[in-house]
Amino acid sequence: MGYESIWLKRAALPEGATAPKTIAETIAQELTALQNLRDDMIWAYLVTDALPEEGYDIVVNDRKADILGGSAVGVLYGIYDAQRQLIVNGTVVSVSERPACPLRMLNHWDNADGSIERGYSGRSFFFDDGKLLIDDRTSFYARLCASVGINATVINNVNVRGDATWLITDRYLERVREMADRFAAYGIRLYLCVNYAASIEIGGLGTSDPLEPAVAEFWKAAVAKVYAKVPSLGGFLVKADSEGRPGPHTYGRTQADGANMLARALAPYGGTLIWRCFVYNCAQDWRDTTIDRACAAYDYFHPLDGMFEENVVLQVKNGPLDFQVDEPVSPLFCGMTKTNLMLEVQAAQEYTGQQKHVCFLVPMWKDVLRFRTYAYSEHDRVEDIISGTHRRGACGFAAVANTGNDENWTGSDFAAANWYGFGRLAWKPQLSAEEIAAEWAGLTFEDSTVRNVVTKVLLASYGIYQSYTAPLGIGWMCNPNHHYGPNVDGYEYDRWGTYHRASCKAIGVDRTTKGTGFSAQYSEPLAKLYENPETTPMKHLLFFHRLPYTYVLPNGKTLIQHIYDTHFEGVEELRSLVENVVAVQGMIPEKEYTRIMERFGMQLSSAKEWRDRINTYFCRMSGIGDAKRRKIYAVSEEDLVYPGE
């Protein structure tokens, strides 16, 4: 088919295979790929009512393996499992698998003109110049997604503008259906982002007030048309009242009013309405210390808990701000027990090195999934909530995709591990980061030494990235707009609600009840733990507290010394990680190796820039020197003090 299919490249499709039109054709192709991997075994499959729809069992008896699925999709997932086992371990064993999250979804921020918002891997392979692209890559993409259990995708940006507003009209629906059919052959449902103001922009109405009957009628008619052409559509995803996008607040209505109006239009067709909770005031005055963006989503949505239609799912970003390197888990997971929830993470590395830096995000996502909310007497982890343990309606897990039309799909070869890892976690949150990294390395590289090195690199990468960027959960400190590279005050005097408020004595925002009150949005005992710096997890210390540079951390270091140490050590650890990869040069195909090294070069120089800017800023600001006398660009040694010396 002409494209390198990254982690499935060794599961070769039959010679001359064309894009499958039905799931039966996909199964036939993938069975051949399986047979090619192991032709001395008999592979058989069966669909059975005894299993849940997407579940499967692989039953191995000597040289025969039966793949039983609750549906054709279940069988397909079973075949991919067998392929994975063969490629990674060289053998296949019996397994019994059921997906955890009902919705396992990618959100693409692709624009109709072919650009990608926060895209770091080339241009869109769904759109170009106002047109939908449907080609072999569409099916290859679907294959990669299905191979890790992803069952839903949203192909257009949540910021729906211009041509994209027309995706739900005759102008596009024929092509949308073709796209949906391509995906359906891999068990994937297509969703679309819609423009909340479509009733104005394409409907000719003067309003998008959700309580205005003409607006509801507009959507009913639009949805009827969509489903007449694309009956398999999963539903809509909406960003409203957020970062300049229109929404019900314009009319003094609530988020529930807006979501329910759309959900009612979708309900007759079994459609789901996914509504984002990323609602905050993005025109803040930095001088006003009483407003805290972190509080916004909970303030808006918590009072509406239980007021959403059954086919509404609220999509909640993992943290209360915006995909920073490390944020506490959004308190909405504590406070929305009567509403369907979806977790949203960002595989696109907007704030985590933009796919120039290696940053395997699975360890961070695991922390979010394992987080105990204390919202239920049992099964109260985020992974329980998004698996639908407590709800009848849909729940799930979404990732902002990191793909583009680059040859290797994700710009950085290692970034593909985040796409892969997201799918695996949405299927089975209990998998460890180690297992996922080893699986991906095993699928992608042949040599066992290389596999071990790559696994090691992936697992160390997040901690290293964390250590040389903004310290202890405070976030931001990046260049405005494009968000790459350090700029400590880049967002300090801006309108986005993203402040560190460093002075010569202290740093951080007090988000306890003595400050903005954010900590009180959590259930007990969390609220109490976050109230006190001594019981706040160290990685989130500066998210919750304003502390002097001389504050002594649990590791015995002062805050300022910790900043210096982590930043110096982070760069050194990165250097040694790179050396590990250099040591296996020759065992990695040359093209991949060259690409990896180019990215490491960019990462190293950026990491040094981070180290020096952060250290210098805080050294100059605090007037406290580094106890280890490493190179910091303080203006003059005489400006500095060395406490305790």
Residues making contact with ligand GCV (CB under 6 A):
109, 117-118, 157-159, 239, 243, 278, 322, 350
Is residue 378 annotated as part of the catalytic site, yes or no? no
CA distance 393 to 312: 8
- Nearest to ligand GCV of 239, 381 (CB atom): 239
**What radius of gyration, in Å, describes the C-alpha atoms of the chain?**
25
The catalytic position among 110, 241, 322, 612 is: 322
CB of 211 to ligand GCV, least distance (A): 25
CA distance 345 to 361: 9
- State phi, psi for 189 to the nearest 5 degrees: -95, 135
- Nearest to ligand GCV of 284, 389 (CB atom): 284
Is residue 407 annotated as part of the catalytic site, yes or no? no
- Nearest to ligand GCV of 308, 323 (CB atom): 323
CB of 352 to ligand GCV, least distance (A): 13
The CA–CA distances, whole Å, from 452 to 442, 462, 479 equal 9, 17, 35
362 Cβ contact partners less than 8 Å away, ≥ 6 residues apart = 417, 418, 421, 422, 425, 433, 436, 437, 458
- State phi, psi for 238 to the nearest 5 degrees: -130, 130
- Best CA proximity match to 273, nearest among 322, 226, 228: 226
Q: Sign (positive/negative) of CA torsion 263, 265, 268, 274?
A: negative
CB of 360 to ligand GCV, least distance (A): 21
- Nearest to ligand GCV of 242, 536 (CB atom): 242
- Nearest to ligand GCV of 278, 544 (CB atom): 278
CB of 157 to ligand GCV, least distance (A): 6
The catalytic position among 201, 212, 217, 243 is: 243
DSSP 624: B
Per the listing, tokens 């001594």 go with 534
- In the three-class reduction of DSSP (H, G, I as helix; E, B as strand; rest coil), residue 317 is classed as strand
Tokens of 422: 């997201």
53 Cβ contact partners less than 8 Å away, ≥ 6 residues apart = 70, 71, 73, 74
CB of 108 to ligand GCV, least distance (A): 10
Is residue 322 annotated as part of the catalytic site, yes or no? yes
Give the CA count within 13 Å in the CB-facing half-sphere of 247: 24
CB of 294 to ligand GCV, least distance (A): 14
CB of 344 to ligand GCV, least distance (A): 8
DSSP 192: E
- Nearest to ligand GCV of 239, 500 (CB atom): 239
- Nearest to ligand GCV of 57, 322 (CB atom): 322
Per the listing, tokens 């397909």 go with 76
- State phi, psi for 473 to the nearest 5 degrees: 80, 10
The catalytic position among 350, 383, 384, 573 is: 350
CB of 242 to ligand GCV, least distance (A): 6
CA distance 464 to 360: 10
The CA–CA distances, whole Å, from 85 to 11, 58, 183, 288, 439 equal 11, 11, 24, 56, 9
The CA–CA distances, whole Å, from 134 to 74, 116, 140, 181, 471 equal 25, 17, 11, 11, 44
- Nearest to ligand GCV of 58, 470 (CB atom): 470
Helix axes 255-266, 213-229, angle to 10 degrees: 40
- Nearest to ligand GCV of 81, 241 (CB atom): 241
Beta-bridged to residue 24, according to DSSP, are none
Q: Report yes or no: 466 and 253 within 8 Å, Cβ to Cβ.
A: no
CB of 197 to ligand GCV, least distance (A): 16
CA distance 267 to 226: 13
Which residues form the catalytic set?
243, 322, 350
